[in-house]
Amino acid sequence: MAAPAHGAPVPQGDYVPARRSGKLIVTAGMTPRIDGRLAYPGPVRSDAAVEQNHEAVVLACSNALRAARSLLQPGEELDAILSMTVYIAAEPGFTAHSRLADAASAFLRQELGDAGICSRAAVGVASLPGGAPVEIQLMAAVR
């Protein structure tokens, strides 16, 4: 799963994609958008294979990672992803939230090595902004 090549995340409201305080960066929730447009509509279907939604999860995670990296100064890098929250808008009956969130964990590990291994919550919700199937928020430390 390679990181998608496209522009920086575009805020969909009155907020910033990421905020920094000292050596800590927290991102806004990022959905699977390319140039501000939702690339994968939701919700996650209860009768579909989990793998059918991996691209949406990876795109949302890539957007969150790019938002975090956008606040790095020259010579800095992300020391570690400390925490990740994966919100999943799924049909009733879907119970593989953790397995779907594994795609985001694998992406971060691929991109950052051991620095990408983090604590995580996978949360099922009734809906997400714009009809997105997934939204991902990261908390990262800077080195």
Q: What is the CATH number of the domain that holds 129?
A: 3.30.1330.40
Task: Specify if 38 maps to a domain.
Answer: yes
The residues with which 120 forms a beta bridge, in sequence order, are 84
Total structural domains within the chain: 1
pLDDT beyond 60 at 95: yes
Cis peptide before 43 (omega within 30 of 0): yes
Task: Specify if 4 maps to a domain.
Answer: no
Task: Specify if 6 maps to a domain.
Answer: no
Q: How many other C-beta atoms can be found within 10 angstroms of the C-beta atom of residue 120?
A: 17
Task: Specify if 89 maps to a domain.
Answer: yes
Confidence of residue 85 (pLDDT cuts 50, 70, 90): very high
Confidence of residue 6 (pLDDT cuts 50, 70, 90): very low
Task: Specify if 32 maps to a domain.
Answer: yes
Task: Specify if 119 maps to a domain.
Answer: yes
Instruction: Tell me what the mean pLDDT of segment 84-97 comes to.
Output: 97
Range of the domain at 100: 18-142
C-alpha triplet 109, 110, 112: angle, nearest 5°: 60
Task: Specify if 11 maps to a domain.
Answer: no
Q: How many other C-beta atoms can be found within 10 angstroms of the C-beta atom of residue 71?
A: 18
pLDDT tens digits for 102-120? 999 999 999 999 999 999 9
Nearest to 15 by CA among 32, 36, 29: 29
Task: Specify if 125 maps to a domain.
Answer: yes
Phi-psi region of 54 (alpha: psi -120 to 50; beta: other; left: phi over 0): alpha
